[in-house]
Structure 1
Amino acid sequence: MSVPVSPAPAGRSGPGTGTGTGTGTDARSDAGDLSEFGYDQQLHRSLGRFSSFAAGFSFVSILTTIFQLFGLGFGFGGPAFFWTWIVVFIGQYSVALCFSELAARYPVSGAIYQWSRRMGGEILGWFGGWFMILAQIVTASAAAIALQVVLPNVWSGFQIIGDDPALTSASGAANAVLLGTVLLVVTTVINCIGVRWMGYVTTVGVCCELVGVVAIILALFTHTHRGPEVVFDTGQPGQEPGYIWAWIASGLMAAYVMVGFGSAGELAEETRNPRRVAPKTIRQALTLSAVGGALLILGALMAAPSLTDGRLADEGLPYVLNTVLSSPWGTVLLIDVAVAILICTLAIQTAASRLMFSMARDSRLPFSDALSRVNTTTGTPILPSVVIGVLCVVVLLVNVGNDAIFATLTSVCIILIYLAYLAVTVPLLRQRLRGWPGNRGVETDAEGRKLFTLGRTGTAVNIFAVCYGALMVVNLAWPRAEIYNPSGDMPLLQWAGPLTVLAAVLLGLCAFPWGRKHPRPVKVGE
């Protein structure tokens, strides 16, 4: 472990800062850069630009999430819910721009935790990381359970428990936990082997997902029943007073999907020249996901056999694809979706394990000594990967007892992600108003190129990101019975959003390392 030092301002002359005239970069220069933040190079630095991009793209995983959630958006807002996708992208892109500036200046694992503590102090930074870890554990569980929606339709033999594959049935819920557990064991093993193998699997998986997305878009646009003007149709909900509220609720679908694009920042210590690569791949992952997702939604609306028979809201995208694709191609598509679920789960678990490692390395978590150990052979923090995997399985078990509670958990965890984002953008705005970054336009990466900066537009973009994030937290946490208690059997679940946030704060207050001095104190805003 390095001697605790305060981080030097990015771009300062010294080892690894990239202020020289050389055009190449290697692990030694990146390691020297990392040492200025007080950390040794323990993780293996082997990820390139595409692997960095793949980490963010696979976390969003539009083939997985839109496949699952299309019906949610359409059910609330009708075809015009398409525009919520655009609105959420604009809001999230403003967040991604802020993240890109920070990723260029603080290329350290545990991005949300590191960025929020350097902008807002130790307490805010800790809670930003805490919220993100909790959310990622639940999100990985939700991704893993999606296998139940896919694999039994590929081959009936995947329905190992009982004969009803529906997630709401007893046998379907139990089988979902079994399949999800197997998947989490696989992703945990891959993470323990090393980041190089994680990069290989994610890269191949993302290539398969991209091919699948393009194939689906082409299939949808060649089997249309109506034109693109369908996106102006408010549908049946539009015939009732107050459509705007239904439209706002339909935006939850996009809000659920477009998160996790900052995963490249979590892998900064394992990426070559992260000051240049991470900012770019953060923006690319979100942008490509948004474009692909918009085309998928538009194509589904144009190709759906009917917009009024209720099936599009109940069955979502699979309903449209089953009418467009013949059986063999439909099976191939389902296999591609299963691959997307694999890499999505892997990407989320990897990001969570690196965040846990980063906080433990700073003695910010219980059992930090054990959680901060890195295997010298694989260059991987093995225990955090195992702990995250086990906790994900524990969350999965909730689905056996009550699938409504599991669905509620997966909804409220998104609130925690948006709160973690606010823990970065709010203090960043405060520091920006004080002149951050002070040496704008001077900082360079390992190749001597200027770091990404928003320049004079930074304050306006940051203000927009904060306002958007705050409004989205309110929208996500709003006690809608249709989201949190659709059956009407458990009224308390309707308030699950605010109650979960309160529980996370109270649990965090118990876990916070009160009285323990940080081994690497930072000066806020530098």
Structure 2
Amino acid sequence: MTVPAPRTHPGAGDGRGSETGDLGRFGYGQQLHRSVGPFASFAAGFSFVSILTTVFQLFGLGFSFGGAGFFWTWPTVFAGQLLVALCFAELAARYPISGAVFQWSSRLAGTDFGWFTGWVMVVGQVLTVATAAIALQAVLPSVWSGFQLVGGPGAESAPTSATGAQNAVVLGLLLLVVTTAINVIGVRLMAVITSAGVAIEIVGVIALVIALFAHAERGPAVVATTTGAADGPYLSMWLASSLMAAYVMVGFDSAGELSEETHAPRATTPRTIVRALVVSGVGGALLLIAGLVAAPSLTDGTLASQGLAYVLTSRLGDVGGRLLLVCVAIAVAVCTLAVQTSGSRMVYSMARERAFPFATVLGRVSPRTGTPIGASVLVGAGAAIALAVNWHQSAVFTALASLCIAMLYLAYLGVTVPLLVRRFRGGLPDGVDEFGRPLFSLGRFGIVVNVLAVAYQVVMVVNLAWPRAAVYDLTDGTWWLQYSALLFIATTLVVGFFVHRRNRARHQGPIVLGARQVAGARPHPVEEPA
């Protein structure tokens, strides 16, 4: 049965003072602390994307497949993800609730479909935390050889080497201890650290771009060549190289995860979602070009194996290069923190609906810190396990990166597809934000943008999950590693089916969003699929 959604949302014209009442209309009490302002909201999305973290982590991989021409995967992925971000911005204005992707999907397609979307998103976020944490290996040993803890300072530190991969696990685990502690302490500390880290990252990107262009070895026209590409059909290599851009430009929706902790979220969150992606897209494009024009060589194999860290230390010298690499290390830490925060809010949002195992613990918010401590610890522990099982796997970087992004793209599809169906059935509700202004809307362009967003996502899911041995199986002969993306996605869905069925049986029916949260509050109507 379909319960029509209201055509308007009551605006909270007095701004911040009415945020609690606005949230109450959805059936939720204000448990999380509202300590996130506009810049911190932007920082949440920007630090999840974190161009310094992800470009440094996978620049070498992208170049090793597509050569200099792999640059063009960046504007291609940016254009596709911008379409997705615009769709998400509309939803963020109308449903400013933690667990954004789960909430949006549930309210568009029913809570059963939304549950699977949230489940896939949680698994993807846990893997993303792990992948972000191991990015320290691409930076710290280049800052100081003493950070190569496995095998000692003289051991091979390349992330795809045996000692490099194991050291990445050690550094990642140490970082997860720190980020989990910060998340437990409170969102205010997280917001301060994230905002400071983003400021440092933006300054670092600007400094890097200027410094590398000042040491250019060749002109920007090099991006029109395939110099340095792997052997094989170039289109196939180019598609494989798009993994880097796809991995970078996700997580802009994390500003939506913090909606219940953000001041004036209907007005703030939609803009910060789009702004985080746009700033990341422009900065990342300049950083890629700067790295290609400044690299000492595009053909000796060093750029493919050592990435941008090699370009920095060789062009800017030990002192200058290492100082900028410190900025990258800070960006890695802040990125890991932001991803873990986002994942914990998704777990919390599902758990408070009794839609997640151990819901009593995971759906509880500490009255002192205003944070979901159990959910934060779970995400950190899950990421640690994902790292630990890869101790002897030299493909940990590429395999985890591909897996986590494929999962996130699937979860995003769980929002954009039902959103497209909703548009054909009558569109989204109208209304005003906290300051009386019309909610963010794509207007008559909504259907076109949504159709293109879905088409792009489908192509990218197939591309990311494609069983490429060069991405998933560096052992050159282990079939289950080569097909690990497809096997992992299938396993996630099967496990999710049994978890969800057990949960429905235990609670004797489907999830009713917000029904258990605030006594006397009227839960927001949820459209069930016809």
The interval holding the TM-score normalised by the smaller chain is: over 0.9
Sort the Cα spacing of 1:110 and 1:245 in 2 relative to 1 into closer, same or farther, 3 A.
same
Q: TM-score, normalised by structure 1?
A: 0.93
In structure 2, what is the Cα distance between the partners aligned to 1:482 and 1:159?
25
The answer to whether 1:514 aligns with 2:514 is no
Higher mean displacement: 309-318 or 145-154: 145-154
Contact 1:72 1:313 in 2 (8 A): yes
Amino acid of the residue matched to residue 414 of structure 1?
Answer: I
Query: Which residue, 232, 239, 243 being the options, matches 1:248?
Result: 239
**What code does the residue aligned with 2:241 have?**
S
Aligned residue runs from structure 1 range 489-508, under 5 A: 489-508=477-496
Larger mean Cα displacement after TM superposition, 165-174 or 66-75: 165-174
Q: Which residue of 1 aligns with 2:176?
A: 184
Superimposed CA distance per residue, residues 371-399 of structure 1 (whole angstroms, 9 cap, x where no aligned partner): 11111111111111111111111111123
* C-alpha distance in 2 between matches for 1:339 and 1:66: 14
Helix, strand or coil: the match of 2:35? coil
Per mean C-alpha deviation after superposition, the further-off stretch among 113-122 and 515-524 is 515-524
Q: Does residue 12 in structure 1 map to residue 9 in structure 2?
A: yes
Matching of residue 264 in structure 1 with residue 255 in structure 2:
yes
Q: Secondary structure at the match of 2:439?
A: coil
CA contact (8 A) 1:398 1:405 kept: no
Which of 391, 405, 411 aligns to 1:414? It is 405
Question: In structure 1, which of residues 361, 364, 369 is the aligned counterpart of residue 355 of structure 2?
Answer: 364
SS at match of 2:9: coil
**The residue matched to 1:399 in structure 2 has which SS?**
coil
Report the Cα distance in structure 1 between the residues aligned to 2:368 and 2:207, rounded to whole angstroms. Answer: 40
TM-score, normalised on structure 2? 0.92
1:120-199 equivalences under 5 Å are 120-163=109-152, 164=155, 166=157, 167-168=159-160, 171-199=163-191
Question: Counterparts of 2:162 and 2:299 in 1: how far apart (Å)?
Answer: 31
* Residues 1:143 and 1:7: Cα distance change in structure 2 (over 3 Å): farther
In 2, the alpha carbon distance for the partners of 1:60 and 1:108 equals 21
Deviations 1:117-163 (A, max 9, x none): 11111121111111111111111111112223322332333334431
Q: Which residue is 1:205 aligned to? A: 197
**Number of the residue aligned with 1:3:** none
* 1:231 to 1:171, Cα distance in 2 relative to 1, 3 A: closer
1:49 aligns with 2:60: no
Check 1:301–1:10 CA distance in 2 against 1; reply closer, same or farther (3 A cut): farther
- Once the two structures are overlaid, the 10-residue window that deviates more, 179-188 or 399-408, is 399-408
Taking a change above 3 Å as real, the CA distance of residues 469 and 400 of structure 1, as seen in their structure-2 partners, is: same
1:223 maps to 2:212: no
Which residue number in structure 1 is paired with residue 309 of structure 2? 318
- The one-letter code of the counterpart of 2:226 is T
Q: Give the conservation status (yes or no) of the 8 Å contact 1:162–1:172.
A: no
- Asked if residue 101 in structure 1 is aligned to residue 90 in structure 2, the reply is yes
Contact 2:98 2:346 in 1 (8 A): yes
2:243 touches 2:402 (CA, 8 Å); kept in 1? no
Shift in Å, 1:487 = 3.1
Q: Which residue identity is paired with 2:220?
A: P
Does structure 1 retain, via aligned residues, the 8 Å contact 2:88–2:253?
yes
Q: Which residue of 2 aligns with 1:348?
A: 339
Q: Pairwise CA RMSD of aligned residues?
A: 2.0
For 2:423 and 2:5, locate their aligned partners in 1 and report how far apart those are by CA, in whole Å. Answer: 18
Q: Which runs of 5+ in 1 are unaligned?
A: 1-5
Give the counterpart letter for 1:147 in structure 2.
L
Matches of 2:144 and 2:314 in 1, distance apart?
Answer: 19
Q: Tell me if structure 2 keeps the 8 A contact 1:357–1:372.
A: yes
Supply the AA of the counterpart residue of 2:487.
L
**Change beyond 3 A, Cα 1:7–1:44:** farther
For 1:436 and 1:478, the matched residues in 2 are separated by 34
User: Pick from 422, 437, 440: which aligns with 1:449?
Assistant: 437
1:10/1:367 Cα in 2 relative to 1: closer, same or farther (>3 Å)?
farther
Aligned residues: 509
Q: For residue 114 of structure 1, what is the aligned residue in structure 2?
A: 103
Point out the more displaced range, 396-405 or 463-472.
Answer: 396-405
**8 Å contact kept, 2:36–2:191:** yes
